[in-house]
Chains A and B, each alone.
Chain A
Amino acid sequence: MKIGKGEIIFAVIAVFFVASFFYGMAANPGSEFGGADGAAEGVITDVTGGYEPWIGNLGFEPPGGETESLLFALQAAIGAAVLGYFFGYYKGKGRSD
């Protein structure tokens, strides 16, 4: 695979993204970069004066951050494996045709 214009543009955008993250770290000292959905829960509490979810979590609840990151990593790995498999398959097939 050759490095073309597309890869270069992508790399530039990626560098900007990482730079914006470092800027964000400097601009928000002490922030742990928690989930935006968590912050939204705060807003719900603010605007309603305290909201109790009418039903709790129904699925499996990871006991902690470690298991949670395991399951997220598993999700990414499954997806990445499928992506890699089919791109490789198509590429190899294209070559042998």
Chain B
Amino acid sequence: MHIMEGFLPSPWWQLWFVFSIPVIMFGMYRLNKLVSERRDLLPLLAVAGAFIFVLSSLKLPSVTGSSSHPTGTGMAAILFGPAVTAVLGVIVLLYQALFLAHGGLTTLGANVASMGIIGPLAAYLIYKAGMKANINFYVVVFLAATFADWITYVVTSTQLALAFPSQTGGFMGSLQAFLAIFATTQVPLAIMEGALTALIFKYIIQVKSDALVELKVISQETVNKLRGITA
């Protein structure tokens, strides 16, 4: 999702800030509430943030012959919702923009929109819908995290296509070209990320399922059922 510094011309980079900033503000409000009211959940927040840190630092090779980053945001989105995930995304994206020349400060709004907001929102909605439909918890987590990753790159492609419509094919022409790079490269990476996230959730259920129940991520019955199966 790293749109490089200066690679979004006016008015696009400003527009994406307008989109992202309210969500980040709301996320900070939620985060503050969480920090002051539920101190016992802070370690889980650290785990979710650390997971994004690790995964977004890895550049994985894909079958297409290029490499790309997983995002790691599906887990935070499931645990804390998309707004808090947006704040965690800002931290990681700032680190990479300031120290690694990956992404940029002017493109931060756009990169937060894709990786921190829209991808995690997709994960959150898929998770809620999947749990409601009574699908197996780990399958739902897998799907949610996979799509958080993949949709992030679909959004990046859309952002670039909006800013750079093709002279011949217009927006759709550009979108196809960007999707051909990002969306295809990302498929194996997204699946891998989904699988890893599901595995990590197994360990969270094992060691700290009460936090999941407290966050209303999962019901106590589901925990009991899962423990019965996986124990």
Contact = CB atoms under 8 A, between A and B. Distances in A.
Nearest to A51: B164
A79 B53 contact: yes
Contacts of B173: 47
Contacts, number: 195
Interface string B75-112: 00000000000000000000111111110111000000
A13 B82 CA distance: 27
Contact of B66 (A39, A80, A94): A39
Contact of A49 (B49, B62, B138, B167): B167
B53 A13 contact: no
On chain A, which size bracket covers the interface? Answer: 35 or more
A81 B54 CA distance: 10
B231 to A, nearest CB: 8
B191 interface: yes
Interface in A65-96: 68, 71-73, 75-76, 78-83, 86-87, 89-91, 94
Given A36-B181, A72-B100, A79-B53, A10 B198 contact: yes
A53 B7 contact: yes
A31 B192 contact: no
Nearest to B211: A90
A36 B183 CA distance: 10
B178 A60 contact: no
A17 B50 contact: no
